[in-house]
Amino acid sequence: MTFREGNSSAGLGARAAALCAAAACLCATAAAQKAARPARQPPPRPASVKPAADNAAALGEAAALLQAGRLEEAEARARQVVTASPRDAQARTLLGVILDQRGRAAEAEREYREAIRLDPKSVPAQANLGVLLARTGRLDQAVEAFETVLRFAPDHSQSVYNLGAIYAGRGDYDRAVPLLERAAGVRAGEPPADTRVDPSLLLMLARAYLGAGRAEEASKLIDVVERGAGEDPRALFTLGLALAQGGAYEHAARLFERTDALRPNTYEVLYNLGIARYNLDRYDAAARALEAAAALRPGEAEPLYRLGLVASARGQSEAALGYWQKALAVRPEYPEANFMIGEELSKVGRAAGAVPFYERAVQQDPSKLVYYVRLGAVHFRRQSYEQARAVYEEAARRFPDVPQVQFLVGYAARGQGRYDDAEAAFRRSLALQPDSADVYANLGYIAIQRGADAEAEQLLKRAIALDAKLYPPRYDLGRLLVRVKRYEEAVPVLRDAEALNAKDPGVHYQLFLALSRLKKSSEAKDELALFQRLEGARKAGQDATAEGATPRPPEEQPLPEPSVALPAQGNTARPPAP
């Protein structure tokens, strides 16, 4: 994400002019430098905070040295002013800018904060502090700084842009769009009147439009940028990348194809063309582009990884595994490739073989929650609940505030039959996510196992109220009602459960019991027949209903593999990208 620096003056006559000249070189990247646009000057600072000494000439010299790239001399001159006038907020702001340019962010931050202490309404200090905070990953504090700037100077264009960029980066498009529209001078996607508007800003706004589901407005801006690119392959490629990042793969693929025609056999173009085609499910065309990219750079692992994804999507498991193994031969520390081998082996029923690859993925990149979740799931599939719990507990140590992880710890403990541990973990999950139907359903199951019928009924009804399509709490509530002989109430609950999962023999057995007790022999017989057919493990005639006899209940099935919706960090529609 590119951030634009704030002007290093507050608009005080000659001193402002000198410091504005310095600010022109403060853009965070070369692209931002080329795109810097003049902003309306913020309101003058209150007279009460104006320094006693007039340091305009000295600060002008420091600003000129900064602009000339003579940073050591600029710092020395700015420090002379700060030493002579320690309460001059503008001098401290300029010193902060110089220190920031020299890579001394901590010192720069101290100067910005001292400038703000001296002059709480200092727009330049707040704006430059915001950029520093954003660049160092403290986005919440950066947002606060930029919002402070806009309270004092609503038309401060750099802060409008920077705040919009942060919101866009977070996926908060409803907030990002109006800010980026202001920064670009665009309304509802109509091309800006100022033809000098930075194309990268228009692209960011277009991506925000796409993220907000406003494809028509995005298309208008993309057309403007594309016309401006003409037949320049670099510009077309950059536009294609921006569109691909925004999920507009169809348009991105066309631009990559145009770029390939203008500059054939370029690795970056072919590689990204292959990715775009893969995301459009054009697997044959994707494979051709990626194979060409791999031929151009045999030592690169990424095309091999992507070719594996294409082969997997085609249902060619062995070919996919072969590509990923080749990628690992080129780059042994490749967690995404290890993860996808685990996924593929798990998909084709080779769970035991998947385990070491999932384990390597976790070891190589422990920041990916999805790696832990899938490793634990494959242990579940093998009924290795102890190993699954160990994996989930390690994930809980790394991601303590993710409710799904605490749920998985509880679920594994339930599989072990350690209900006290399970309940404790489920309660931790509930504290983080109070309205989780899955948690209430599992707590209800545990209450049944403990014989706490009233508590179980309350918990299961709460789960059903939160998610009417969740099968386990309806089934468990139905069998609880059968057990306590409330047969009339049990039947509609079990019928609802049957509608959600008619293939579970257990629900038919419970319906058979309830209907038999209610003397509805015909319906009971039908349910018994369904139960016997689905159970399928008894000898012929063993479960036939003899007068006064009751069929044996089905054996409790192994706990199903857990299914959770992860936070965005690990829950992507596509496999992980390197």
In this structure, is residue 542 part of a structural domain? no
Which residues are CB-neighbours of 315 under 8 A, at least 6 positions away? Answer: none
Q: What is the pLDDT of residue 267?
A: 96
Side chain identity at residue 8, one-letter code: S
In this structure, is residue 540 part of a structural domain? no
In this structure, is residue 576 part of a structural domain? no
Matching residue, tokens 């390939």: 260
Please identify every stretch of the chain with a pLDDT value under 70, giving residue numbers as ranges.
Answer: 1-53, 189, 193-197, 537-552, 555-558, 568-578
In this structure, is residue 435 part of a structural domain? no
pTM: 0.69
Distance between start and end Cα atoms, the chain: 18
In this structure, is residue 252 part of a structural domain? no
Matching residue, tokens 């505030």: 401
Q: Does residue 309 contact residue 575 with C-beta atoms inside 8 Å?
A: yes
Q: What is the pLDDT of residue 498?
A: 95
Indicate the SS3 state at residue 48.
helix
Say what the alpha-carbon torsion angle 428, 430, 433, 439 is, to the nearest 10 degrees.
Answer: 120
Which is nearest to 108 in space by CA: 96, 98, 90? 96
In this structure, is residue 397 part of a structural domain? no
Domain count, the chain: 2
In this structure, is residue 515 part of a structural domain? yes
Side chain identity at residue 380, one-letter code: F
Q: Does residue 554 contact residue 356 with C-beta atoms inside 8 Å?
A: no
Q: Which two tokens stand for residue 418?
A: 């350690």
Q: What is the pLDDT of residue 84?
A: 86
The residue out of 170, 190, 205 marking a domain boundary is 170
Q: Around Cβ 566, how many Cβ atoms within 10 Å?
A: 15
Q: Is the CA virtual torsion 389, 397, 346, 467 positive or negative? A: positive
In this structure, is residue 7 part of a structural domain? yes
Q: Around Cβ 392, how many Cβ atoms within 10 Å?
A: 29
Task: List phi, psi (to 5°) of 187.
Answer: -135, 125
Matching residue, tokens 């002989």: 485
Q: What is the pLDDT of residue 193?
A: 67
CATH, residue 531: 1.25.40.10
The residue out of 535, 554, 573 marking a domain boundary is 535
d(CA 478, CA 463): 13
Which residues are CB-neighbours of 511 under 8 A, at least 6 positions away? Answer: 478, 491, 494, 495, 498, 523, 524, 527
The residue out of 125, 150, 170 marking a domain boundary is 170
By residue range, what is the domain housing residue 110? 1-41+54-170
